[in-house]
């Protein structure tokens, strides 16, 4: 059996494959979040794309740092990233 270009070993019983299907990753979440080694979820802060002249250097520097999701939001993000 072949799933998305990856060969998966399969044992057939009664004409069916008895291996569990792969879980799909929500690609929108995968592009926005990264999970750290300790299990925290990092994200890039918004507001650093345009209209930067009116923002102070301190504000722009703080926006460059990654943010950490709150616990409940992190739990929701991790359900969308099964292999993270």
Q: How many CB atoms lie under 10 A from the CB of residue 40?
A: 12
| Residues ≥6 apart with Cβ < 8 Å to 47 | 55, 63
Is the entire prediction scored with pTM above 0.75? Answer: no
Task: Output the pLDDT for position 3.
Answer: 40
- Domains of the chain, residue spans: 6-80
pLDDT surpasses 60 at 2: no
Could you confirm whether domain 6-80 is CATH 4.10.410.60?
yes
- Give tens-digit pLDDT for 60-79: 999 999 999 999 999 999 99
- Give tens-digit pLDDT for 3-16: 455 556 676 667 67
């Amino acid at each position: 059996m072949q799933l998305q270009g990856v060969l998966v070993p399969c044992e057939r019983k009664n004409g069916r494959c008895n291996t569990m299907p792969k879980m799909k990753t929500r690609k929108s979440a995968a592009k926005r979040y990264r999970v750290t080694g300790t299990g925290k979820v990092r994200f890039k802060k918004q507001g650093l794309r345009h209209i930067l002249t009116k923002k102070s250097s301190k504000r722009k520097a703080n926006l460059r740092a990654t943010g950490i999701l709150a616990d409940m939001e992190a739990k929701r993000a991790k359900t969308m990233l099964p292999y993270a």
